[in-house]
Amino acid sequence: MLESRGMRILVTGASGFVGSALCRELSARGHEVRAAVRRLTPPGADPRGLQQVLVQDVGAQLDWRPLLDGVAAVVHLAAIAHRGAREDEIRRVNLDATVRLAQSAGGLVPRFVFMSSVKVHGEDSGDGAYRETDATRPEDAYGRSKLDAERALADLSAKSGMELSMIRPPLVYGPEVRANFLRLLKWVDSGLPLPFAGTQNRRSLVYVGNLVDAVARCVERPRGLGPLLVSDAETVSTAELVSRAAHALGCSARLVRVPTAMLRLAGAITGRGDEIRRLTGNLAVDISKACGVLAWQPPFSLDRGLAETARWFRAARA
């Protein structure tokens, strides 16, 4: 039983892939959403109960207090994730802006939900699966900025009493997805042979509908939950993901067997070593804490998530 209904919620990064889906979810659950967006959508295109506020640069020296007026919870999604960004710019947005927002919210807003990343733990979970209590060893600027933001938020929460939950998702997919997952869909749809038949790794993913459902439950809980790993209910190898994505797209998966060592060598030579490592390595998460404290099971199966994503992909290409 969820304890909070009909709240006013500030969502940053609301015009992004996850943010737009979260605003729809929160509005459907009866909440009033104040959406901090980088671009305004036309009147009538927004869910009921959504108020757009233009914030083009969350990393600027903003006065957040007017946006926090009457707000019961903040969901902070806005971040820089792309690899081409400089580390100082990543930290300006992902760390400094997060701290300023939380400082403004402390004492005014009871609840703060922060979108972190599984990358705070690292890039390879080995033979097991990451848990929230595992060591944090981020390997890139994005992961380091998220971990430092988590630590700063925990300190602010302890001082102000603001309830804090931090979500650590793996790769997010779904309609409107971009970057690596969209590239994978294009590869599968092209019919080109993909060299992953022998790749027996373990990867966790999270469908955007599962992620926003978990975030909404954090918002609606009357206490902070700390860090939570969230994903779909099953892990898959890259070979299985390609096969199931092909099925969703209505095409055949053309998988060929290439040794992992050879793939990684080719990646190093071509400057795509990180991408190949992600496609061949293990990155699994244990969601038992989230399931327990949120009384939650991912509402969408992997196959349903892939089907919804494939439907959007086909419509976008039509």
Q: Which residues are catalytic?
A: 142
Query: How far from chain centre, in Å, is Cα 42?
Result: 26
Gap between the Cα atoms of 78 and 76, Å rounded? 6
Strands 8-12 and 32-37: parallel
DSSP state of 127: T
Strands 50-54 and 32-37: parallel
Buried b (16+ CB within 10 A) or exposed e, 289-303: bbbebbebebebebe
End-to-end CA distance of the chain: 42
Most distant pair of Cα atoms in the chain: their distance: 58
How many residues can be counted in the chain? 318
Q: Structure tokens of 264?
A: 């990684």
Contacts of 90 (CB under 8 A, 6+ apart): 80, 141, 142, 145
273, exposed or middle or buried, with CB in 10 Å at 0-12, 13-18, 19+? middle
Gap between the Cα atoms of 78 and 175, Å rounded? 19
